[in-house]
Chain A
Amino acid sequence: MEMIVCSQVHFSYFTGAGEVEVLRGLDMLVEQGEHVAIVGPSGTGKSTLLRLIAALDWPGSGEVRIGKSISTKELRGAALARFRREQVGLVFQQFSLLPALNALENVMLPLLPYCPRRILRKRAAALLAEVGLAARLDHYPDQLSGGEQQRVAIARALIASPPLLLADEPTGSLDSATGMQVITLLDNLCRDHARTLVTVTHDANIAALASRRMRMVDGQLEVV
């Protein structure tokens, strides 16, 4: 079953120097439950592709379709927020945890306004236990290591049980050993929960864990 369908996606932005064309008629198809790694040098548009899939940006032309939902281009307002909340889980390179919230609260954050706190707390605690942080629920980000912070971010991405997980350089801020642990955890979780995982990385070892690898070249994807 198709999870991500990108058809002739073009994306460009403007700078003082002129228009920069990032994606040039990109096509991509990812099946449900797949683990896809996108590799490529910096500035080739890997993260941009991820933002388009997460509906954080919109393609200039072409179409990005996630699961059975309509094109991301047509998502606006409440539908867009719901899409981001329910269909996609995001893991960032810089973890993006709120420093004032502890691990448990950070995990609860995406659904805080939408679910009862009691239920949410229970589920967040379970997820944190799943990523090996059962003893660190009350710890604040600055009391956690980089790997632990990324695990909290992974738990946060899974709180709404999204069918698709997008990880943008999830190990970029970690040492190689920790990075490997984190990506292995992520891979395992996605397998266990039958989630689709798309990872953007520079690291060949990380990419090697994926079921399929694609390289971004000149704004288009090539199968590695």
Chain B
Amino acid sequence: MNKKLADRVGVKRSGVGPLVGALAIFSLWSLRGRAGQLVPVALAFLLLVGAVQAIGTLQDIASIQTQQKIAQSWRTPYDLLIRPQSAVSSLERSAGWIDPQSALESYGGISSQQVASIRSLPRVALVAPFASIGWQTIAVRVPVELVAKGIYRVSAKWIGPGTGGIADDTVVRYVDVTDLAHLTTEPSLTSLIVEHILAKDDVTPVVFSMSVQATQALIGVPGSQRKTISQVLLEGIAPAPPVHLSLHVDRLRGDLAVLPACVQRADCWEAQQVRQGTPTYQAGGVQLLRFSRTDYTALPQQIGTGQVSLQPVGEDTQGLLYRMQLPEHVPGNVGSGYSQEVPLQPLSWPQRLPTLTNAVRFIPLEQACLINGASCYSGLYVRLNGVERYSQASLALLQATAAAITARTGLHVDILDGSSLRTVAISSSSASTDPVAHSSWRVIGVAVQIVRGLDALQETLLVLCSLVCLLAIAAAGVLVGIGRRKEALLLQQIGWQKNVLLFAFALDALILSLPGCLLALTWIILATTLRPATLSPTLVWALLISGIAVYCCTLVVSACLGSKSFFYHSIPIFVCSISMTSAIFLIAIEYLLITSFNQVLVVTVLGNQVREAFEVPQLALLLLVLLAALLTVGLCTMLLLRGRRQELSLQEMKRVFVWR
């Protein structure tokens, strides 16, 4: 104020404080007639904060429920499956599936050094190697005293529950106790193999060592899993009494010449009582066995419907599985390589093993590998730390670890975390009795994809909903601002400076938004205290501040714009059109997102397993977004009709007049 005015009016004002005070007083005076405007503004702020908080909460609920469902269905004890590159079939590579059987069908290929290298990686909690089941042969030797010269038949038979004395199980040896030393060196003249033992005299008994080949289970497993596998394999058998080797000795009534004729005749033989010594066990070679590899093919259409075709390998179908001996452990006369002449041995269940006392035993995997060679591991299961929940972060960690493993070792890594079992129909072209078999294959990364899709969906909705709410606030600001244009014009005409005017209206806007802000703040504090959500409070605060800024700016600009400005007329229309378009777009996109998300991910991949988990939060979300959109549209409609109030009133009057 200049001196002249000061002289006229009396006192000079200086400082920002009194100015702010005066403008605050003006705002409070102005509020008298506009208390009703507090309601839509407060509603708009509450809507903004509430919508964001609600979306955050709903996202949490949906995520938790989804992850629970996912964890129930797909959480595996291990996160990664590592196999040699050669063990991965082309179908697995193309379809992104894992054939659980393929892990059992591969033999070796991973060395101890590679395992150690993987163990040393950060975040690796556990590495569990596995190898093919192997067998160790043992020779059971029972010394038998034969007291006189003659031809003896020594029969060994496994006696125990379930054996029943089957002839096939009886091992027979023919022994000739003789004083003719040359017989021990000459080849046998009979077709039967007779073992000649030289007797010292007629009194001193000779000892024949009866040798019976037996098989001892050799299952290379990590120590932690030994007990479990033992229980599984020996279920119903382990507590049963073990079988015993029973020896029966008969003496031939006659000489070596009648032996061929008497093999099948009981009357030729005379039972003998003999002394048996203590049995001894001698470990034989180790035979590591594996399944023959099956070969699957599938067209892309077949993959989509979960159907694969099996290329028949003899009788090696999904029915009874057979094993084939490894070339290096097959007796030398078989030749090298896999051959159809190699006899296929039926899968030997533990029941078929000679369950001598302590005969069936497990040896550590490391020990098996010492026998078999350095690269004995068929595969590795790896568990990581920090992937307890399915998320993009867990996926990134898994992918990074998988890449590191491949880079270090060259092995193939599949991410099991979040993989789901999917039934695959396997059809065989062979004329077997059951041409179609069903097996469960793992579809990798499904759960992670779902969580990632869910997160992206919620984030998109959050952004869209925030945008619409901000537009609603902008519409409210414009609505209030337009109502005060005349006031702003008058104040300019009576000498208020432009900056003072702007400040006054900004202050006015702040005061108007104060109750809404307080309610919103209470909401934020309560929501944060009662139920800490994954949605960052900073984001909500930032949105609230943005809302205040948007409200103040739109109010001030729409109130103080000069009437000659282009924007004077276009701002309301612009804001309204944007708001209404966004609202309609939001409803449409939300509907599309949710329905397509359900269809693609939930229905197709998951069936109805997690659908229930999605539906309730999604419906609530839809209602919330609908509410926000409707409020925005309502505010915009008010804004658009405001300038046409007189016109409408005139039309109404005309209508009444005509009616009368």
Q: A residues bordering B, Cβ < 8 Å? A: 54, 56, 77-78, 81-86, 90, 96, 98-101, 105, 109-117, 119-120, 123, 156, 159-161
Contacts and interface: CB of A to CB of B under 8 A. Distances in A.
Contacts of B265: none
B500 A110 contact: no
Contact of B495 (A96, A99, A160, A161): A160
B18 interface: yes
A115 B497 contact: no
B16 to A, nearest CB: 11
Given A114-B1, A117-B22, A123-B9, A82 B495 contact: yes
B19 interface: yes
Interface string B491-504: 11111111010001
A117 B10 CA distance: 12
Residues of B contacting A: mostly? helix
A161 B8 contact: yes
B345 interface: no
B498 A160 contact: no
B11 interface: yes
Contacts of A86: 2, 4-5, 495
Contacts of B23: 112-113
Contact of B494 (A84, A105, A117): A84
A120 B26 CA distance: 14
B494 A156 contact: yes
B6 to A, nearest CB: 9
Given A86-B2, A98-B487, A160-B5, A116 B494 contact: no
Which of A54, A78, A101, A115 has the most C-beta atoms of chain B within 10 angstroms of its own C-beta? A115
Interface in B1-58: 1-2, 4-5, 8-11, 13, 18-19, 22-23, 25-26, 29-34
Contacts of A109: 26, 491, 494
Contacts of A81: 492, 495-498, 500
B353 interface: no
A127 to B, nearest CB: 11
Contacts of B13: 114-116
B9 A111 contact: yes
Nearest to B4: A86
Contacts of B29: 100-101, 105
A98 B496 CA distance: 15
B31 A100 contact: yes
A160 to B, nearest CB: 6
B400 interface: no
Which of B9, B30, B490, B492 has the most C-beta atoms of chain A within 10 angstroms of its own C-beta? B9
A81 B29 CA distance: 22
Contacts of B491: 109
A119 B495 contact: no
A113 B5 CA distance: 14
A100 B32 contact: yes
Interface in B182-228: none
Contact of A112 (B4, B25, B493): B25
Given A85-B5, A98-B490, 7 more contacts: A81-B495, A81-B498, A100-B34, A101-B29, A111-B9, A113-B19, A113-B500
Nearest to A84: B495
21 contacts: A77-B498, A81-B492, A81-B497, A81-B500, A82-B495, A82-B497, A85-B494, A85-B495, A86-B495, A90-B494, A98-B487, A99-B33, A100-B31, A111-B9, A112-B23, A112-B25, A112-B26, A114-B1, A115-B1, A119-B11, A159-B9
B277 to A, nearest CB: 120
Contacts of A116: 11, 13, 18
Contacts of A84: 492-495
Interface string B608-642: 00000000000000000000000000000000000
A119 B10 contact: yes
Contacts of B494: 84-85, 90, 109-110, 156
A83 B4 CA distance: 12
A98 B485 CA distance: 12
A77 B500 CA distance: 11
Interface string B345-359: 000000000000000
Contact of A161 (B9, B25, B497): B9
| 6 closest Cβ pairs, A-B complex | A85-B495, A100-B33, A84-B495, A161-B8, A81-B497, A110-B494
Contacts of B33: 99-100
Nearest to B490: A96
A56 B493 contact: yes
A86 B492 CA distance: 13
Contacts of A78: 497
Given A98-B487, A100-B34, A82 B25 contact: no
B34 to A, nearest CB: 7
Which of B1, B9, B13, B494 has the most C-beta atoms of chain A within 10 angstroms of its own C-beta? B494
Contacts of B497: 77-78, 81-82
B11 A113 contact: no
Contacts of B4: 86
B563 to A, nearest CB: 12
Contact of B22 (A56, A82, A98, A112): A112
Given A86-B4, A160-B8, A113 B22 contact: yes
B99 to A, nearest CB: 78
A110 B491 CA distance: 7
A101 B28 CA distance: 10
A113 B30 contact: no
A141 to B, nearest CB: 10
A101 B31 CA distance: 9
A125 B498 CA distance: 27
Which of A113, A117, A160, A161 has the most C-beta atoms of chain B within 10 angstroms of its own C-beta? A113
Nearest to B6: A115
A126 B504 CA distance: 27
Contact of B2 (A82, A100, A110, A159): A82
A54 B500 contact: no
B60 to A, nearest CB: 45
A100 B19 CA distance: 20
B288 to A, nearest CB: 95
A159 to B, nearest CB: 8
Nearest to B33: A100
B159 to A, nearest CB: 111
Contacts of B492: 81, 84
A221 to B, nearest CB: 23
Contacts of B19: 113
A22 B541 CA distance: 55
A113 B23 CA distance: 6
Contacts of A54: 493
Contacts of A111: 9
Contacts of B1: 114-115
Contacts of B495: 81-86, 110, 160
Contacts of A160: 5, 8-9, 495
Contacts of A110: 494-496
Nearest to A120: B9
A186 B601 CA distance: 81
A98 B33 CA distance: 10
Contacts of B9: 111, 115, 119-120, 123, 159-161
A117 B31 CA distance: 19
A83 B497 CA distance: 10
Contacts of A114: 1, 5, 13
B31 to A, nearest CB: 7
Given A96-B490, A160-B8, A113 B32 contact: no
Interface string B594-614: 000000000000000000000
Nearest to B7: A161
A54 B32 CA distance: 31
Contacts of A77: 497-498
Nearest to B9: A115
